Amino acid sequence: MKRGRLIFSGVLVLAVAVSLWRFRESQSDAGSPVTAGPEVGEADPGSGKPEAPATSDAETAVPPADAVAASAVPRSVPAPLPAANPASPQRQSPAAPPLPVEKRPAAVVPEPAQAEVEALARNIRDYRDRFGGNPVGNNAEIVREMDGGNAKGAAYLPSDLKRLNGQGELIDEWGTPYFFHQESAKEIEIRSAGADRVLWTSDDIVAR
């Protein structure tokens, strides 16, 4: 009985010690200089520049913080086309009306567009690895979160991906806002409407 108590006490003390040690480790991880950019509001509060992400994926293009800031201007988008089935006014994106069915192109996925969606998926994965879950919300909210508006001020939206419309939504190369289907904390589907600018059709480009 006495021995059992001793063992139990020993396990408890060990658990507390390990917890403290892990806590210290996580604190030092969070504070480690993963990039040259300072945490917002800490070392360089005046700059307000977001921190670049800590990532082990060499393919993930992460620009320097100043490049991210410079890329905030939306790139050119296609001219609007007549909408067959308009979204509610609050949901309309000026650059993303769908093409009429007869004008929709064949489902050929251009490689750059596919690469862009996949790069976006990788960056969301990096975000998830850092924060323990996917960013949540609608397109504009996810963009804000990915673009430094998170607890660590870390940026996950490099300039080559950062194409925004006037509502702060991330759009594909045809001007349609990406659709982020949030399935769980670890699963998210990123969907481009493709050349026909209509979601859930055969030319959609999807990555997760």
Partner 1 sequence: MNSFALNSFTTRRNFLSRAAFSGLGMTAAGSIIRDFGLMQSAMAAQGPVSGYKAIVCLFLSGGNDANNWIVPTDTETYNAYATARGGLLQIPQAALLPLNVGGSPITDADGHTYGLHPSSSRLQTLFAEGKVASLLNIGSLVRPTTKTQYNANPTFYRPPQLFSHSDQVTQWQTSIPDQAPTTGWCGRVADIINGVANPAGNISMSISLAGANTLQVGNMVAQYQVATTGAETLSGALMGGNNVRVKAMRDMMGLPNANLQRQAYAEVLDRAIATGDLLNTSISNTANDAFWTNAFPTTSIGSQMKMIARLIEARGPSKFNMNRQIFFCQIGGFDTHTAQVRTNTGTDNVLSNTGAHYSLLFQVSEAIFAFQRAMEQLGVANDVTTFTASDFSRTFPNNSQGSDHGWGSNHFVVGGAVNGGKFYGKLPTLAINGPDDTGTGRWIPTLSVDQHSATLARWFGVDSSMMSALLPNLSRFSSSNLGFMG
Cβ–Cβ < 8 Å for 100, 82: yes
Q: How far is the CB of 150 from partner 1 (least distance, A)?
A: 10
Regarding 166 and contact with partner 1 (CB under 8 A), the answer is: no
Q: Which two tokens stand for residue 162?
A: 């950062």
Cβ–Cβ < 8 Å for 171, 177: yes
Q: Which two tokens stand for residue 129?
A: 């690895």
Regarding 57 and contact with partner 1 (CB under 8 A), the answer is: no
Regarding 115 and contact with partner 1 (CB under 8 A), the answer is: no
Distance separating alpha carbons of residues 103 and 113, to the nearest angstrom: 20
Binder among 91, 105, 129, 202 for partner 1 (CB under 8 A): 91
Nearer to partner 1, 34 or 199 (CB): 199
Regarding 112 and contact with partner 1 (CB under 8 A), the answer is: no
Regarding 85 and contact with partner 1 (CB under 8 A), the answer is: yes
Distance separating alpha carbons of residues 135 and 186, to the nearest angstrom: 10
User: Rounded to a whole number, what is the largest CA-CA distance in the chain?
Assistant: 83
Nearer to partner 1, 38 or 149 (CB): 149
Listed ranges 35-43, 46-54, 107-115, 180-188: which one lies at the site for partner 1 (CB under 8 A): 180-188
Q: Which two tokens stand for residue 13?
A: 């003390």
Binder among 6, 15, 30, 61 for partner 1 (CB under 8 A): 15
Nearer to partner 1, 105 or 137 (CB): 137
| φ, ψ at 111 (rounded to 5°) | -60, -45
SS3 of residue 21 by DSSP: helix
User: Which residues are within 8 A (CB) of 139 and not within 5 positions of it... i.e. 6 or more apart?
Assistant: 169, 170, 177, 178, 179, 180
> Which parts of this chain interact with partner 1 (CB under 8 A)?
11-12, 14-15, 18, 22, 83, 85-91, 98, 133-134, 136-138, 140-141, 151, 179, 181-185, 187-188, 198-200
